Amino acid sequence: MFEHEQFQKKLYGRRKGPKLSAHKEDLRRTLLPAHALTIVPGADPRTCFAPPVEDVWLEVGFGAGEHMLALARSNPSVGLIGAEPYESGVAKLLSHMADDPPPNLRIHEGDARDILAALPDGTLGKIFVLFPDPWPKTRHHKRRFVQTEMLTAFARVLRPGGEFRFASDDAGYAAWTLERALAHPAFAWTAKSPADFTARPANWPPTRYEAKALHGPPVYYSFIRVFAG
């Protein structure tokens, strides 16, 4: 269903974790199919949702899904698409949403590049990359998800005025991302002072990983898609 020939990067990181409980395995069998992403390459992603939605947002690597689920429940007119290759993360999201599954949430248990390659130009309102693996060793920096070519892919699928949000508790990855985003002609950083990126905005739901802040104080960057070319 998906192709991403323009991306040469391998997907790094775990896909399998500890054996899932019987309850989570059951959720994967019963709940996941109803919320699994089905997208026809080149089709408007709003058609993936019923009832219809007015906008579509993408979260790359949603972890346990707290952020995406909170957004789906507080923005019923927006379709949320989440990509997460880690099976246990998908299972955790399913367990969080089991009692009240939002109709405006779709899950791709795989590489977000699959989705980016399938989307038409200018069809997303927001993209979130929150607390990704920092790959801190220099020889592993090529494994970081945020690269210049990935920002170009984001720029293609974001509509003008759309937003790319990035958060990290790793100072090295934060500096890496800021350097590349500032150098990219399609994005403008919204921050006017340190207070604009050192405190989580009120409309930015927290995540379980953020609460741990393993590497240091988190930063929260927001970049706007500034031109249509």
Bridge-based pairing state of the strands 158-168 and 78-83: unpaired
Q: Would you say 163 is a known binding-site residue? A: no
Q: Would you say 84 is a known binding-site residue? A: yes
Q: Would you say 25 is a known binding-site residue? A: no
- The dihedral through the CA atoms of 132, 200, 175, 228 has a sign that is positive
Q: Would you say 133 is a known binding-site residue? A: yes
User: In terms of C-beta distances under 8 Å and separation of at least 24 residues, what long-range contacts does 22-28 make, across chains too?
Assistant: 23/95, 24/91, 24/92, 24/94, 24/95, 25/91, 27/91, 27/94, 27/95, 27/98, 28/90, 28/91, 28/94
Largest separation between any pair of C-alpha atoms in the chain: 50
Cβ–Cβ < 8 Å for 45, 116: no
Amino acid code (one letter) for 37:
L
Sheet holding 78-83, edge to edge: 105-108, 78-83, 55-60, 124-130, 158-168, 219-225, 187-189
Q: Would you say 9 is a known binding-site residue? A: no
DSSP 27: H
Residues annotated as catalytic (active site), given as ranges: 133
Q: Would you say 5 is a known binding-site residue? A: no
Binding site for S-adenosyl-L-methionine, residues? 59, 84, 111, 133
Binding site for substrate, residues? 137, 169, 207-210
Binding site, residues? 59, 84, 111, 133, 137, 169, 207-210
